Structure 1
Amino acid sequence: MLRVVGVTAILTAIVPLVTSQWCANFGGNSMTQRHTTRSRVLRKVGAVLAASLAVSTLATTGASAKSAATGPTAGGGGDAKVAIFDTFGGWCGPDNLANSALMAARTIYETLFEKSIGGDMIPVLAESGQAGKNADGTLDLKTWTIKIRSGIKMHDGTDLDASLVKFNYDAGRGAGVLAGQQGSSYLGTGVPFLANILSVTADNTAGTVVFKLFRSQNDFLGTLYASGRTFIRAKAQIQAAGGSAASGGAGTGSCGAKPVGSGPFMVESTYVRDADKLKVVRNPNYWRKDAKGVQLPYLNSITFDNIKDSQQRKNAIMKGTYDAAMFTSGEGKYVKSIRTNKNLTEFKSKNEYYPSFWFNQKIQPQFANKNCRAAVSYGIDRATWTRIRTAGEATAAPSIVGPTSVMYSKKNFATFNTKKAKDALALCLSETAKTELKFTIPADMSAVSLANVKLIAQQLKKVGITMDIVQKESYTIIGEAFNAAKGNQYDAILILLMEGTDVSFNLPFLVTNSFAPNFTGSTAYFKALLGSILSLTRHTDTKVDDLLYAAQALPNGATGNGGTAAEKAAVKAAYKAATEYIQSEHLITSVAHGYYNLFAKKSVKNVGKLKGPSGKTQRVVTNWGIDWTGVYLQK
C-alpha cells in the first residue's frame, strides 16, 4: 500500500524542481533552438528497464576479405571518436538528454523494447510482452504482462529482475515518490507519459512484470519504449534521488551524477560528469554475444564530444578527426557538403520527425478562436521555408504527421494559401473584436534559430499577421514552456515533439490532460499539477481525447504489433479521423518533416547489421542516432 506521507511537502517541492530540471535539459528539442535538432520532452520518464539475453548475428558492411574472414573480436574493435551536438545535462530519470547525447546514453542503458526496421516493437531487455485475455477470449488491453530476461547484471553487479523494472516504473510515474522511495526531485514528464498506469506488480520467481492500466491501450509497448528513453537504471542510482530510508530510497541526491545501466558500455570508476564530453568503456560482463559466440561489444571504448556548431562538426568529420558525426536535415547545407566526401558513408533515418507550431489558447486568447489559428496555419509557406532553411533536405509538411504514421491524413491540413489566410484573419479579428493578430514566439540565442523564425515572421507579415520574436537561452525557453506552476508561457512555440509511425509518444502532447477523466490510481494526486504540462496548446477540446482514446482502445494483436487486416484497418481509420479533426480545428500545424543522419569513416563497420534478441534488426538511424553494440573499426 502506498504510504502517502508528507504530500504537502512533496507538492511544495514539485514546482521549482520540475521547472528547473526541464530548463537545464530540454534545450535541443526546440526547432527554434537549433534547426530540427531536438531534445525530447519525455526525458523525465524516470521509468527505465532491464537488460536482455539474445541471439545476435553479425554481418560486415563492405569489409575486406581478410576482415570478413576473421571478424571482430571482443574488445578488439578499436576506440571510436564521435562528434555530437548536445550536452550531457545529467543521468537521473528527470534529466533531459537531447537526441545526440541520448545516443551516448544508450551505450550505457538499455530498453525493454526496441523498434524494428519494420516499425514493430521487438523485445530487448524483455523476453516478451503481451496483452491479457478476457474470459471470452478477447484481448484485455488494460493488462499487459512483460517477461523479463534472466541472468542480466547491471554495471554495479546487481541483478536486473522484475523488481528492478517495477522500481524504475514506479519512480517514473510518481508512485515511488508518494511511497517515499524517491524524493520529489524525481518527478517530471514521466508522470504524464505514464499516466495510464494504475499499478505495477513484479514476480521475481516468474520473471514477470504486470502493468494494470486505467483505459485500454493497444500500443502500450510503445509507451514502454517511449522513443528510446525508458531505459532501466540500477536501483542504487535511482535511490540517490533521495527518499525515505525505510522505503528503500535513502539517497544522497546524486542520481544524476553517474549513470549505472546494463548496456554494452559503462563509465569508468573515476568518472566525473562533463557536460560536453563522455567516454564509455567496454562492459566486460555484457550479456549479449554475436552469432559466432563472440561477446559483445566489439569496440574497446567510445568518446563522444559535443561540437554544437554545425560548421565545426562538419570540419571535424571531413578532416578525419572523428570516426563519426551526427547531423540533422535542419543542417542541410552542411549535410550536402559532407556528401561530396567519398571517404565517408552516410546513414540516414526516414523523414519521420515533425516540427510543429503549437498555439497557446490560454496565454494568447485569440488562439482560442479557430479562425485565428487558421490564419497562421494558412500563412506559412512551408515549401519556401524548407527550401531556404534546410536546403531542401526536409520536406514541406502535408499533415501534422508523415505518410508512414498510422495517424496520417492530409484532409483538413491548412497548406499555404494567401487568400485563405487573409479571409481567416478577417474572421479572426471580427470574432475576437480585435484590430490585429499579434503574438510572440521564442527563439534561442543562436543566429540559426533566429533565422528560422524570422522567415516565418516575414511570411506571416505578408498576410497581415505580426509575429514578434523574443530571444532567450534554450533552457529558459523550455523551462517557461513546460512550467508546472503556470503552464506554457509563450503565445506560440515552434518545437519538435511529434514523430514516428505510431501514436504512443505523440498522444500525451495532444490531449487536454494525460490523466483520463475519473482516473482512479494513486498518481491521480499529480493530475492537476502535472497532467497537462505536456499540452503546449492548453486547449480544452475533449473531443480530441475521445477520438485518440477510442482509437487506442481498438484491438490490433496481442503485442500491439499486428492483428488481422480488418483490425489494422479499423485502427488506422480511427487515428485518421482524430488527425482530420485536429487539423480541421487547426489546434497545431506542422512546418516540415525531417530526418537524423550520421556520417562515418569507411573504417566504421557493421552499422545497423547486428540483429537483436528476437532475430530482427532495429532501425539503423533514429532520433538518437545509431546502436553502437555491434560496431567496430576495421584496422
Structure 2
Amino acid sequence: MTFLGSATTLKSAAFGLAISAGLLLGQTSAEAAAKTAITVGMAIEPAGLDPTVAAPVAIGQVTWQNIFEGLTTIDKDGKIKPQLAESWQISPDGLTYTFKLRQGVKFHNGVAFDSSVAKFSIDRARGADSINPQKRYFASIDTVETPDASTLVLKLKQPAGSLLYWLGWPSSSIVEPKSAADNKTTPIGTGPFKFVSWSKGSKVDLARNADYWNKAVSLKLDTAAFRFISDPQAQAAALKAGDVDAFPEFGAPELIKSFEGDKRLTTVIGNTELKVVAGMNNTRKPFSDKKVRQALMMAVDRATVVEGAWSGFGTPIGSHYTPNDRGYKDLTGVYPYDAAKAKALLAEAGFPNGFTFTIKAPQMAYAQRTSQVLQAMFAEIGVTMNIETTEFPAKWVADVLKAADYDMTIVAHAEPMDIDIYSRDPYYFNYKNPAFNDVLKKVEMTSDAAGQEKLYGEAQTILANDVPALFLFVMPKLGVWDGKVKGLWENEPIPSNVLTDVHWVE
C-alpha cells in the first residue's frame, strides 16, 4: 500500500483556514487533547480478555498491568516488584509466605480488594477444575489462609523458589469474585485503566481509572485503544498514515527499512522471550546420539540464520535462555559454526555419508525461512533435510507437542524463563537428563536470587552441551512508534503492552 502526497496538502490547507477564521486557539486545544490518547497496534486479536483462563499472549498484551494486576509484578527489566502485596516474609524453611496486602485498593466495579479476594483468585487458579494456563505453578501451594483482611498466608507442600516470579505473571492476576466469570468479555481489575468496549475484529478501548490506588503513578493517558491489524503491509500503512500511534511488535522485519527517513516515526529494536529453537526427538535415531546433535549444531551459522530468517534482526543464543533472563550466559561459543568439525563428528558418530530426515515446520514466516536456511547448511555436511509444512497450531500440537511424532521441528517458545520444559516428562523433545532435573529442583529449593542465577547458569550450560534442540536466536521486539510517544517498553521480559508510563512529549 502507498500513501497519497495530497494528504499533507489537505492538512496544511485546513490549518491555514483555521488561522484565517481566527480558530487557532481551538486548533491548539484539539491538538493538546489528542495527546492524552493513544492507539496501539497489535497483529493478533485475543480470543478473550481474561489471562487467568487462556494462554495466548495477546490477552496479556492488552490486559496485564493495564486492567489486571497481581500480588507481585514484573518490571521492564524483568525484576520482581511488589504490587497488590506491598511486602512479604518467607519462613526459613521456604514453606510459608506471608503477604502484607495493600489497603484502600478497589476494583473497577467498586468492590474492595482484601485477603479474601486474593484467596479466591489463588484457589480458582489451583483448583481441580481450574483452566488456568499456568496451573502447574500453583501446584506447590498446600493451603491459603487469611488471618485478617490485609494478611495472606500461603503454606507450601515443598519449597518453590520462583513463586514470587510466577505470581507476577498475567495468569496470576487477581480477579474479583462476582465478576470473574465475565472477565473474558468484560474484564474488571484493579489496574490504571478500565475496560470500555470491544469491537470484535477491530479494537479494544480503555479509559483511565480516576480512582487508581497507586497515587505514585501519574497517568498521562485518558484513553487508549488496541487496534488489531494482521497484515504487515496494512500495519505499515496504518503507522505511516497516523491511524495507529505505535506498533510495539511490528510483524515484518523486511519492511523496517521502509520507515527510514520518516521524520515522525522511530524504530526501536529490543529483546523478547521468543526463543527460536529447532527441537529434535531425542529418542529417535539418529538424534538419540548426542554427537549427531552436536554436529548439527556446529553446522549452523547462527548469524546467517538470523539474516535469512528475520532480515538480520535477532540475537543468537547458545541455550534455551534469553538476555532478558536472570543469570543469562552467552553460550553460543560452546558449539560455534564449524562445518569441517561438524562433518568429522558425524563420521565419528557413524554417519560419514550423512543421513536424511524430515523437519516439521509450522507455516509462520520465521519457521519456513529458518528451515530453508538450515536445509542449505546441513547439505554442506552431507545431511539431507526435507521440509514438511505443518499447520500451526492444530496439527503441530497434535503431531509434535502431544504425539512427539517427528524428527525435527522448529518453533518460537514465548514463555519467559521456560527452561524447565526440558525437565518435563513427557515433553516433545523426549530429553532426559537427571543432572539437569536436579539443578532445576535446587532452583526451587532456594529463594536467594543470586543462588538461583548461578543454578540457572548451570542449567543453561548442560543444555548447551547436550543440544536437545538447536538453539538459534531470540526474535527481537521490533517496535515502530511516533517519536513523541514515550514510556513504551523497549524490551519484553514478559509479553505485554504496559501503558502506565506512556505519555506524549512535544
TM-score tier by shorter-chain length is: 0.7 to 0.9
CA distances 1:491-517 after superposition (whole Å, capped 9, x unpaired): 3332233776xxxx324312134xxxx
- In structure 2, what is the equivalent of residue 78 of structure 1? 36
Give 1:462's match in structure 2, choosing from 351, 361, 380: 380
> Alignment partner for residue 262 of structure 1, among 186, 190, 194?
190
Aligned pair count reads 474
Identity of aligned residues (%): 21
After TM superposition, give the deviation of residue 88 of structure 1 in Å. Answer: 0.9
CA distance in 2, matches of 1:450, 1:541: 30
Compare relative contact order (CA 8 Å, sep 6+) and give the higher one, 1 or 2. Answer: 1
Measured after TM superposition, the shift of residue 406 of structure 1 is: 0.6
Q: Which among 236, 239, 257 is matched to residue 317 of structure 1?
A: 239
Shift of 1:118: 5.2
What aligned pairs does 1:251-290 form with structure 2 within 5 A after superposition? Answer: 256-268=184-196, 271=197, 274-290=200-216
Q: Does the CA-based 8 Å contact 2:229-2:235 persist in structure 1?
A: yes
1:577 matched residue in structure 2: 458
Cα distance in structure 2, aligned partners of 1:219 and 1:623? 15
CA contact (8 A) 2:302 2:472 kept: yes
Q: Which has the higher strand share?
A: 2
For the residue of structure 2 that corresponds to 1:212, the secondary structure is strand
Deviation at 1:210, TM superposition (A): 2.5
TM-score (norm 2): 0.81
Residue in structure 1 matched with residue 358 of structure 2 by the alignment: 439
Say whether residues 1:193 and 2:137 are aligned partners: yes
* Aligned: 1:380 with 2:300: yes
- 1:585 Cα deviation after fit: 1.3
- The Cα of 1:324 is off from its aligned counterpart by 1.1
Unaligned runs of 5+ in 1: 1-71, 134-139, 179-183, 241-253, 514-531, 561-567, 609-617
Is residue 158 of structure 1 aligned with residue 77 of structure 2? no
Using the TM superposition, give the Cα deviation of residue 273 of structure 1 relative to its aligned residue in structure 2, in angstroms. 6.4
Which secondary structure state, in structure 2, belongs to the residue aligned with residue 537 of structure 1? coil
Find 1:89's aligned residue among 40, 47, 58. 47
1:220 to 132, 138, 163: 163
Aligned to 2:412: 496
Q: Which structure 2 residues correspond to residues 100-499 of structure 1 after superposition, within 5 A?
A: 102-106=60-64, 107-116=66-75, 119-133=78-92, 140-173=93-126, 176=127, 178=128, 184=129, 186-187=130-131, 189-195=133-139, 197-203=140-146, 205-226=148-169, 228-238=170-180, 240=181, 256-268=184-196, 271=197, 274-290=200-216, 297-327=219-249, 331-350=252-271, 353-362=274-283, 364-402=284-322, 405-410=326-331, 413-428=334-349, 436-444=355-363, 446-447=364-365, 449-477=367-395, 479-480=397-398, 486-497=402-413
Letter in 2 for 1:511: S
Q: Say if 2:193 and 2:207, in contact at 8 Å, map to a contact too.
A: yes
**Partner SS, residue 225 of structure 2:** strand
2:19 aligns to what? Answer: none
CA–CA distance in 2 between the matches of 1:367 and 1:213? 39
> TM-score, normalised on structure 1?
0.66
The one-letter amino acid paired with 2:420 is P
Q: Which amino acid aligns with 1:344?
A: L
Q: After TM superposition, give the deviation of residue 437 of structure 1 in Å.
A: 4.1
Cα displacement (A) at 1:628:
0.9
State the match for 2:18 in structure 1. Answer: none
What SS does the corresponding residue of 2:95 show, helix, strand or coil?
A: strand
Task: Give yes or no for contact 1:87–1:98 (8 Å, CA) kept in 2.
Answer: no
Q: For residues 400 and 148 of structure 1, what CA distance do their matches in structure 2 show?
A: 35
Could you say which structure has the larger radius of gyration? 2
| Residues 623-634 of structure 1: pairs in structure 2 closer than 5 A | 623-633=494-504
Residue 236 of structure 1 aligns to a residue whose secondary structure is: coil
Unaligned runs of 5+ in 2: 1-30
Residue 440 (structure 2) aligned to one of 548, 551, 563:
548
